[in-house]
Amino acid sequence: MFLDRNTTDKRLTGQYVVGFDLGDTYSQISYWKLGSQGPTTVSTVSGQEVYNIPTVLCKRKEVNQWFYGKDALRNGETNEGTIVKNLVQLAEKGEPVIVENEEFDPVRLLALFIRRALSLINMEVATEKVAAYMVTTADMSYRMIEVLGEVVSALQLDTKKFFFQSHMESFYYYMIYQPEELWGQDVILYDFTGPYLISYRMERNRRTTPIVAYIDAQEYPGFKKGAFASDEALKEELKEAMDHQFYQIIKQGTEEYSISAAYLIGDGFDGEWEKTSLKLLCHNRRAFQGNNLYSKGACYGVFEKIAGSELGKRYVFLGNEKLKSNVGMKVYRQGQESYLALLDAGVNWFEAAKECEVYLGVGNKISFLITPLTGRDVREVEMELEGLPIREPHTTRIYLSIQMVTEKKVRVRVEDLGFGQLFPSSGLTWTKEFE
């Protein structure tokens, strides 16, 4: 059920947002016509809920013709072409991919897959009607951000319309758009899309304003997908073993925390092996099974980026990709000392950036205040502008650019702009990085 929470900006009514869940094995796409009842997930089979698009390309032999998704698998199985799998991993590594003795850029191959996959919504959504896209993926490392930026450039679409977020953040946005009785307490998500099980538990600190949500992630590398044998006895034995192991995982999580709802996603749950464990999971709580949660959460997340809602103002997600400290400067405005905010805690580190111009007071140093969200251990970092010409106080105008380059590292660039005709620019620039 979709909850109408006054989320629709009237300027965007009739526009769409697109959520693209990019996985190394398969991907999914959801789209949301703003003002309607919520996102729709693209099915690869008309009239059926078949959402998984294999993240695969296949080059036809001796011809520069590429297939994607199920067509790629089909052509590869009939030996009509060469299959390229693990497109996300290949793009992250950045090494050339050899197909039929020819080198291909892995980022270009990933961009080709995304372009072809997005064509699935062309019948429903005109490109000019898309207000924004959100790409969500499990790994949101510095290298992954680089790859996604290169992919968007290769797609030759408006880069200002593209945003990125992790699966954890997509889970968060999906949940806050659900009826509140489902997340009155903690909520747990069991993700079995990869080779082994991962769990995400979302909790909230209601004592803060806005309310802060956290997600605790746990990996279970010892609990892997079952390769069910054709022999019925062996198959049942493996199913029972998996059921018992999952039962123990659920028991540990539900005894330690109060869980009001649980979600199961991923093809690892196929095979109807989770009989006893599901009974435990459904005891005194709601449980749901599906596989399009991330792409729908990406739609909700990108809407909050471009328009925002009252709901989004009440909550803030503090995940691994979020900036944990405020960065600013003490400045003077009209003779009064004040604080100039540069980077705000709570935003994704890869989106944290600021450009501005300021006038120097006395000397050739500028300093930055780093204030953790806890409010404790505030520290000051100085940056010396070596070689800056000596001038009268307040007669040096500088351009300042600051951005996060990793989740914990800041890069500052300063340029001397001088002071009109009185003090021309020296042309000097300075760069500093600090944790």
Listed by start position, the domains of the chain span: 10-163, 170-293+304-317, 325-434
Q: What is the mean pLDDT of residues 384-400?
A: 90
CA distance between the termini of the chain = 44
Give me the pLDDT at residue 229, please.
65
Give me the pLDDT at residue 373, please.
78
- Residue 423's pLDDT band, with cuts at 50, 70 and 90, is confident
Answer whether residue 234 shows pLDDT above 90: no
Asked if 6 contacts 310 with a C-beta cutoff of 8 angstroms, the reply is yes
| 123-176 pLDDT per residue, tens | 889 999 999 999 999 988 889 999 999 999 999 888 889 999 999 999 999 999
**Quick check: do 170-293+304-317 and 325-434 share a fold?**
no
3-state DSSP assignment of residue 389: coil
Peptide bond into 54 cis (omega under 30): no
Asked if 290 contacts 216 with a C-beta cutoff of 8 angstroms, the reply is no
The distance of Cα 66 from the centroid of its chain, to the nearest Å, equals: 28
Percent of the chain with pLDDT over 70: 97
> What gap in Å lies between CA 75 and CA 77, rounded to an integer?
5
Select the more confidently predicted residue: 399 or 425: 399
Which two tokens mark 210? 């806005």
> What gap in Å lies between CA 192 and CA 210, rounded to an integer?
32
Give me the pLDDT at residue 1, please.
29
Beta-bridge mates of residue 130: 16
Beta-bridge mates of residue 26: 54
> What gap in Å lies between CA 187 and CA 164, rounded to an integer?
23
Answer whether residue 2 shows pLDDT above 50: no
DSSP E strand boundaries for 36-185 = 40-41, 53-54, 57-60, 66-68, 81-84, 97-99, 102-104, 130-137, 162-166
| 51-97 pLDDT per residue, tens | 999 999 999 998 889 999 999 999 988 888 999 999 999 999 999 99
> 325-434 is classed in which CATH architecture?
Sandwich (2.60)
Answer whether residue 7 shows pLDDT above 60: no
Answer whether residue 412 shows pLDDT above 50: yes
CATH code given to domain 170-293+304-317: 3.30.420
Torsion sign over Cα 347, 350, 351, 356: positive
Asked if 51 contacts 21 with a C-beta cutoff of 8 angstroms, the reply is no
Q: What is the mean pLDDT of residues 416-427?
A: 86
Other C-beta atoms closer than 10 Å to the C-beta of 323 total 22
Give me the pLDDT at residue 9, please.
60
Give me the pLDDT at residue 4, please.
39
Give me the pLDDT at residue 393, please.
86
Give me the pLDDT at residue 82, please.
94
What fold does the segment set 10-163 form as a domain? Nucleotidyltransferase; domain 5 (3.30.420)
| 191-231 pLDDT per residue, tens | 999 999 999 999 998 888 888 899 999 999 999 987 776 77
| 292-351 pLDDT per residue, tens | 999 999 999 999 999 988 888 899 898 888 898 999 999 888 888 899 999 998 889 988
